[in-house]
Amino acid sequence: MAFSIDSIFTTRTALPKNGGIVEIEPIVALKPYVRCFWTCERDKANKVSRVIPDCCADIIIDVENDGAGFVGMCLDSFAATHINAIFGIRFYAWAVPQFTRTNAVILFNALINPQNLFNNFTEFKDSIIEAKSTSERVELAQKYLIGLLDSRCDSDVMNSLCDIVINNGNISVSDLSRGIAVSKRTLERKFMQSIGVSPKTITEAVRYQLLWQDCIDNRFCAIDSVEKFGYYDQAHMYNDFKRYHGIGLGEARQEYYDLSRFYNTVD
């Protein structure tokens, strides 16, 4: 990838260490593309966790029941319960085309059989299921992904993504297109081909993600964030946050720090 976007932008889930989920960083060569590998062990499953928009897409492998699915980037929050041992690969949404040449438009908000997207996936899934440890699964996954990786990407899309992050998601599509000297229509076409969503959609999703990361900082100040992210006022910011997160900003902060009943083990 021409520019390693992970050096300026890393997504955050609602509460990665709850719900029995453990995240593992990839090797340096995969960091621009893969946010993390993650696991949910059988004895830690059966917990409810909040899934929030994180600008990512996942391969999810059920290591107990020989099942797998690809979950594309989505913009809605929801409650998820894992009842079996799981191994997952979380990609940045814009990096998925580097591993599969499928039209990115069909990946947004989609649940797809990974066998239809990734070469030799059945053999890879079988090796993950047969592996004896998480470290072995991560090693197998990294070798598999390196073998699939095509580092070619659209430099206009990547440069625009950098502009979006640098400006905290507070930038118009017109300004993005001027920054790379292409028309708005051309930029929108490039984003649909590379990510499956419009530049406006990804800009708003990045803004929400950066706001969430501000929210869980102990130094969070609502007034400062209104200005930083370009909201009209605090009400506008609160409403936009709730639209993505599913609950209000104050409740989300309490949930993050206090581990509210939402995260208690299901009886």
Tens of pLDDT along the chain (267 residues)? 445 788 899 998 876 555 578 899 999 999 999 999 999 875 554 566 788 999 999 999 999 888 999 999 999 888 777 667 899 999 999 999 999 978 888 889 889 999 999 999 999 999 999 999 999 999 999 999 999 998 788 899 999 999 999 999 999 999 999 999 999 999 999 999 889 999 999 999 999 999 999 998 888 999 999 999 999 999 999 999 999 999 999 999 888 887 544 443 333
- 34: nearest Cα among 130, 113, 185, 142: 142
Q: Using a cut of 0.85, tell me whether the model's pTM lies above it.
A: yes
Q: Which residues contact 176 (CB under 8 A, 6 or more apart)?
A: 160, 163, 164, 187, 199, 203
Half-sphere exposure of 13 (CA within 13 A, CB side): 22
CA dihedral 93, 123, 135, 117 (to 10 degrees): 0
Give the pLDDT confidence score for residue 264 in this predicted structure. 39
Give the pLDDT confidence score for residue 257 in this predicted structure. 81
Our separate counts of H helices and E strands in the chain read 9, 8
Residue 47 near residue 81, CB atoms below 8 Å: yes
Name the token pair of 96: 């998925």
Give the pLDDT confidence score for residue 263 in this predicted structure. 42
The three-class DSSP label of residue 82 is coil
Distance CA 156, CA 256 (A): 36
Give the pLDDT confidence score for residue 18 in this predicted structure. 57
- pLDDT tens digits along 171-197: 999 999 999 999 999 999 999 988 999
Strands, E assignment, 106-185? 111-112
Distance CA 122, CA 66 (A): 10
Domain assignments of the chain as residue spans, ordered by start: 5-148, 155-258
- The CATH number of 155-258 is 1.10.10.60
Q: In 25-54, which positions are buried (b, 16+ CB within 10 angstroms) versus exposed (e)?
A: ebeeebbbbbbbbbbbbeebbbbbbbbbbb
**How do strand 67-71 and strand 111-112 relate by DSSP bridges?**
antiparallel
Residue 35 near residue 56, CB atoms below 8 Å: yes
- pLDDT tens digits along 202-226: 999 999 999 999 998 888 999 999 9
